[in-house]
Amino acid sequence: MYCTRKITEGITWIGGSDRRLALFENLFPIPRGVAYNSYLILDEATAVIDTVDSSISRQFFENIQHTLNGRTLDYLIVNHMEPDHCANIAELLLRYPNMKVVGNAKTFCMINQFYGIELKDDQTIVVKEGDSLSLGKHKLSFYFAPMVHWPEVMVAYEETEKILFSADAFGSFGALNGNIFNDELDFDKDWLDDARRYYGNIVGKYGPQVQMALKKLSSLDIAVICPLHGPVWRNDLGYLLEKYDIWSKYEPEEKSVAILYASMYGDTENAANVLAVKLAEAGVKNIAMHDVSSTHVSELIGEVFRCSHLVLAAPTYNNGIYPAMLNFLHDCKALNLQNRTIGLIENGTWGPVAAKQMKEILDGLKNMNVLEPVVTLKSALNDASMEQLEKLADAIAASLAE
């Protein structure tokens, strides 16, 4: 049965949610599920804006059929060609053979690559930056947003109702539970962590491109943002735009500390706990701690985007960095993370090298300020390493107070 909601009189949300999928992109845990948003505009002409993942195809087609109410589909706008949004193009072409597909040159190349579909000229409208498509009262203008999150990405702005169809930008992990609008849910409490984790892991590498897109969009009068995942934003847009501005500049969202530790037998964890207590006694609040072996790396990346200060504590392993910590650091590098203040704790029973190697990776990232001293444990905390730990706690507290 159809399951839709009206965005405005002429624009309907025809997406759906998947609560069965364990790993988004077969990589990122999504215990709260994920929504695939799609939108249908009813005017003199009809248009669907992006399709959905194949997991919810049945719901999608029931939604389209109900919303069209006997009319045909004139246009499919393809803003993004990742298969979580374009999996139903072939089926739409079969059901609505006169439908025209609207995209850019890269879009059509990808349609062919993924699905072996070579669309004829009279089946396509190839748009360039700033081109428009009139549907009647509604008029869509297209703006390219390359690498937010793939090279073919564009966004569509509907100027009559001031609606931005923003592709992956402004999206979030999390299924939509009837409440599809941001003003129907407690975003800060229930969504922000997943929105940050989505941004950091999916789009995080492309901060400069997000900045370019934000600059381009700043000239538009936007009342509603319709992303491809997560809630539709129809008020308080400044909140969301500010988050995107901060994240895409790789600035920390908060002045706060996350201690990320790896520990084989509890001794490095003990040092992390002692440091946390010393920081608390120095007045530091809301300290976060994560065991990197049991916390998914996508959560750790979310914490990096949130926190100004990170403490990385790891044993030496095979004359290198403990694997779970090394994996996290590789992700930091891949995502181009910058501008953080770091404390380092290493452990090594006979030849500690983890801190030196962690620092080498951090030195390859932009503007990572590694505090002194580095704390070195030889198996377990002792008086000498405790003294280093106290000094590191002082340095972190002083840096936070700046």
Residues that bind ligand FEO (CB under 6 A): 80, 82, 84-85, 149-150, 168, 228-229
Q: For residues 84 and 158, which CB has a smaller minimum distance to ligand FEO in the complex?
A: 84
Contacts of 86 (CB under 8 A, 6+ apart): 50, 51, 78, 80, 110, 111, 114
Q: For residues 151 and 323, which CB has a smaller minimum distance to ligand FEO in the complex?
A: 151
Q: List the one residue out of 110, 118, 117 whose CA is nearest residue 85.
A: 110
Sign of CA dihedral 235, 237, 240, 242: negative
Q: Left (φ > 0), alpha (ψ -120 to 50) or beta: where does 147 sit?
A: left
Q: For residues 78 and 287, which CB has a smaller minimum distance to ligand FEO in the complex?
A: 78
In the bound complex, what is the minimum distance in angstroms from residue 89's beta carbon to ligand FEO? Answer: 14
Count of CB atoms situated within 10 Å of the CB of 268: 27
Q: For residues 64 and 228, which CB has a smaller minimum distance to ligand FEO in the complex?
A: 228
In the bound complex, what is the minimum distance in angstroms from residue 273's beta carbon to ligand FEO? Answer: 39
Q: For residues 228 and 344, which CB has a smaller minimum distance to ligand FEO in the complex?
A: 228
In the bound complex, what is the minimum distance in angstroms from residue 149's beta carbon to ligand FEO? Answer: 4
Q: For residues 59 and 256, which CB has a smaller minimum distance to ligand FEO in the complex?
A: 59
In the bound complex, what is the minimum distance in angstroms from residue 81's beta carbon to ligand FEO? Answer: 9
Sign of CA dihedral 52, 56, 57, 61: negative
Query: Residue ranges of the alpha helices (H) in 282-322?
Result: 297-306
Q: List the one residue out of 7, 106, 19, 21 whose CA is nearest residue 49.
A: 7
Give the relative orientation of helices 207-217 and 237-248 as an angle to the nearest 10 degrees.
Answer: 140
Q: Rounded to an integer, what distance in angstroms lies between the CA atom of residue 402 and that of residue 14?
A: 49
Q: Which residue is nearest to ligand FEO (CB)?
A: 82
In the bound complex, what is the minimum distance in angstroms from residue 343's beta carbon to ligand FEO? Answer: 34
In the bound complex, what is the minimum distance in angstroms from residue 202's beta carbon to ligand FEO? Answer: 6
